[in-house]
């Protein structure tokens, strides 16, 4: 993080940021339009609006605001990143990479308001420079009086009470700007961003999710989940054990056995999350996985985006898994309708597009023996097929949000397995969730 700037905390302050942004972008559009007309060109409004200068304005202003702006960027990237104009994709990338940290005085105020003015007495050392940042908060490193190292997640001030107005204002800006492709229905994304932000803004809720994952994995020597320090946590502050692992990407040059072990453990974890627990960590950011080289354990971070799946959803998704493994089009389409991919109002041909997407996503499941992820680009292929479904078929209905977040989970997992050049027998890993009568014939990976 390279910039320190006070996060606007009042609704008026945050709205004025968007007003300044809109004014600056209109000014930039007029300037670009005059430049193009002077050259004898007749530019489209979208081309004038999404100039490099305006892209920088938008990314910089939204990164200052964080909150809803960041969440909208994440959700748009998750479902529509393959079909956005290149300039808007660049904006969303800048949002993920650029962060503004709170100044020291604002950090202290958040701690005062959440833990009381005596919070300093609990710490031997507190590092005011954050080690990480996200859409609604930043993380600091500290040492307790007893010598235990902790990570402290602090919520940006004003984020929770400004969620609804931020979502409304950012949505209005995106709709009026002409930056989104025709046919994209933004309302489900706005509703989901609002829902997700309200959940993530409640750090007591995240602490409970963290405790649940900790309980699920406490006896599993392959993983480490940080413990919660309850007496130093609140609705806007979350204090947990600090983990010293290295980035998961640091294992990509280790011998294949260690890479495959880590990849297998993460894949088995994903199956357990979806089908055993109904509790899925859906943020695929590589930064949420650390690797302890001394023990080979994988350390898991950030459970704010964890989503629950009820029993019926898990049953339906397991039916879809079995149908894809059986390589049976009729079973796949029936299960896809149960899950929510299809309904009676779908246009002709849409079912074929869904079928192709599901076949691509589950190709490793139908491969006899190890699937070599280092030689595949499944995440990109899935993105291209979503692009075709959204644009060429001119159809923009999205699957239910819990499925959309599973797309995010699966795409992120495939990218990580590709990065690790993993070779895994996915059918064997999926065996506990497959009905023996519904498996594909060996070698049938169509």
Residue 343 among the catalytic residues: no
In sequence order, what DSSP letters do the residues of 98-117 get, joined into one string?
--EEPPHHHHHHHHHHHH-T
| CA gap 327, 339 in Å, rounded | 17
Q: Which of 166, 283, 302, 316 is catalytic?
A: 283
**Residue 92 burial (CB count, 10 A):** 22
Give the containing element (helix H, strand E) for 217: helix 203-217
As a three-state string, the secondary structure of 17-50 is HHHHHHHHHHHHHHHHHHHHHHCCCCCCHHHHHC
| CA gap 86, 264 in Å, rounded | 35
Contacts of 93 (CB under 8 A, 6+ apart): none
Q: What is the largest CA-CA distance in the chain?
A: 72
| CA gap 294, 402 in Å, rounded | 36
Residue in this structure with the two tokens 């940006």, named with its chain if needed: 156
Give the containing element (helix H, strand E) for 246: strand 246-247
Catalytic positions, written as ranges: 283
């Amino acid at each position: 993080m390279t910039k320190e700037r006070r996060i606007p905390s009042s609704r008026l302050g945050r709205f004025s940021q968007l007003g300044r942004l809109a004014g600056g972008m209109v000014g930039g559009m007029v300037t670009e339009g005059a430049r193009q007309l002077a050259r004898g060109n007749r530019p489209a409004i979208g081309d004038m609006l999404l100039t490099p200068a305006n892209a920088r304005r938008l990314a910089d202003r939204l990164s200052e605001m964080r909150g809803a702006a960041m969440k909208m960027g994440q959700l748009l990237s998750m479902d529509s990143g393959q079909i956005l104009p290149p300039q808007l994709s660049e904006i969303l990338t800048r949002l993920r990479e650029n962060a503004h940290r709170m100044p020291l005085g604002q950090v202290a105020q958040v701690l005062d308001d959440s833990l009381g003015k005596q919070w300093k007495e609990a710490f031997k050392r507190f590092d005011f420079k954050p080690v990480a940042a996200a859409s609604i908060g930043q993380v600091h490193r500290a040492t307790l009086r007893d010598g235990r190292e902790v990570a402290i997640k602090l919520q940006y001030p004003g984020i929770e009470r400004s969620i609804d107005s931020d979502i409304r204002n950012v949505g209005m800006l995106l709709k009026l700007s002409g930056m989104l492709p025709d046919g994209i229905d933004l309302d489900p994304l706005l509703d989901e961003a609002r829902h997700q932000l309200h959940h993530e803004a409640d750090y007591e809720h995240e602490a409970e999710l963290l405790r649940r994952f900790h309980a699920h994995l406490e006896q599993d020597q392959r993983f480490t989940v940080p413990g919660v320090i309850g007496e130093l946590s609140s609705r806007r502050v979350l204090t947990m054990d600090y983990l010293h692992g290295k980035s998961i990407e640091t294992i990509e040059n280790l011998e294949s056995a260690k890479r495959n072990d880590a990849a297998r453990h993460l894949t088995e974890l994903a199956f357990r999350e979806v089908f055993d627990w109904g509790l899925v960590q859906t943020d695929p950011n590589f930064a949420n996985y650390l690797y302890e080289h001394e023990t080979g354990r994988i350390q898991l971070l950030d459970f704010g985006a964890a989503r629950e799946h009820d029993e019926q959803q898990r049953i339906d998704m397991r039916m879809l898994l079995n149908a894809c493994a059986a390589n049976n089009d009729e079973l796949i389409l029936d299960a896809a309708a149960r899950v929510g991919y299809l309904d009676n109002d779908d246009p002709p041909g849409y079912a074929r597009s869904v079928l192709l997407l599901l076949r691509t996503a589950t190709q490793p499941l139908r491969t006899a023996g190890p699937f070599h992820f280092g030689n595949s680009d499944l995440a990109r292929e899935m993105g291209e097929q979503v692009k075709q479904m959204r644009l060429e078929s001119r159809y923009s209905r999205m699957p239910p949000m819990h499925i959309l977040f599973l797309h995010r989970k699966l795409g992120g997992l495939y990218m990580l397995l590709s990065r690790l050049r993993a070779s895994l027998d996915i059918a064997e890993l999926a065996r506990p969730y497959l009905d023996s009568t519904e498996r594909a014939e060996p070698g049938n990976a169509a």
